[in-house]
Structure 1
Amino acid sequence: MHRLLTALLTLSALSAPSFAATPQERMKTCNADATTKALKGDERKAFMSTCLKADSKAATPQERMKTCNADATAKALKGDERKAFMSDCLKKK
């Protein structure tokens, strides 16, 4: 039983997404995504902030909420649009 549990834990660890990207790699990926989405100005800043923090293991639920809330405010979202954005933003983290 112990061997089976160890094997399952090892397998799940190998299939988990890797967050070992260096800050430079995260910046490059986020920048490419922002360019693909044709974001500019405050929208790009908000996206970059969220993207860079999303790849970080250190982001606590409170930090994610703060970042997503700031991004929603920067985009001047309200009502159902804001709720949908917040839900999507928090799921990505």
Structure 2
Amino acid sequence: MTIVRIPLLALALLFSVQGFAATAQQDKMKTCNADATAKALKGDERKAFMSTCLKAGSDTKAMTPQQEKMKTCNAAATTKELKGDERKAFMSNCLKK
């Protein structure tokens, strides 16, 4: 009997986790849809808004410190309009700090 209960327990746990993920996605869809309706968006504008809105929540993964550093250094290099070897040297220096 114990052998049968363990797989059933694992199966129940799997379904409960999937149910939570589906609920979170459904909640996000409801929120984005309500926002689009409140803004009276129609057609292509609504599609674009919904796409952006739904993607905004999918960035739940936080960037690693290295990724944040890379983003900061890249933005600084772009602001300074560095190109080629100058940009490579700047990026290398910036990332070492």
Question: TM-score, normalization: structure 1?
Answer: 0.39
More helix by share: 2
Task: With the length of structure 2 as denominator, give the TM-score of the two structures.
Answer: 0.38
